[in-house]
Amino acid sequence: MNIPALLEGSLPYLSHYGFIFVFVGALLEGETVILLAGVFCHRGDLPYDWTVIAAALGAFAGDQSWFHLGRRYGQDVLSRFPRLTEQADKVKPWLQQKSDWIAAGSRFVYGTRTVAPMLLGMHDYSPVRFALINSVSASLWAIVGVSVGYLIGVGAEQLFGRIKHVEQLLLAIILVMLARWWYRHRK
């Protein structure tokens, strides 16, 4: 299998399905996908504005899903894991005092992106309030993430010249994603 040829052959599909990739990537993974999307914006493969919108919508949908899963199934999850109940009881006063800040900032703190919306959902945080704060937070996150990816593309171009072999860049990003996954799941 010729990976560079496969990746180069898939670039035309990026203009048609790139926004779906960005939406789903922001929904599931997040940072790596929107950074990569920003690099593609720099290359001219994706329009910046629509890429930011797709990333913001994906991030918003993901957080809303976690929030509502916490509202519906959070107590069942805690009842199955007694150690989590102890930790949730310790965090509960903090959630009540700083809930707006947690709703706004959890997206930007590694490791809290899925847990914080779920805990807020479990602790009777207003769904309307969460949706409003989440929409602002997801939009800001998408703008910053895609812009940083764009700047990475600019920096790489200045250091290495025009990136002609996108497959090498994609392979490097995939390797970083695999290393990150391995590091998180090695325990």
- Closest Cα partner for 154 from 45, 54, 51, 38? 38
pLDDT in tens, 164-187: 556 566 667 777 777 887 887 775
Q: What share of the chain is helix, strand, coil (3-state, %, to 5)?
A: 85, 0, 15
Read off the DSSP letter of residue 161: S
pLDDT in tens, 98-134: 888 888 888 887 767 777 888 888 888 899 999 999 9
Q: Which residue has the tokens 């329009």?
A: 47
Domain boundaries, the chain: 19-162
pLDDT in tens, 21-63: 889 888 887 788 888 888 888 878 889 999 999 999 999 999 9
Structure tokens at 159: 């250091």
| pTM, 2 dp | 0.74
pLDDT of residue 128: 95
pLDDT of residue 1: 46
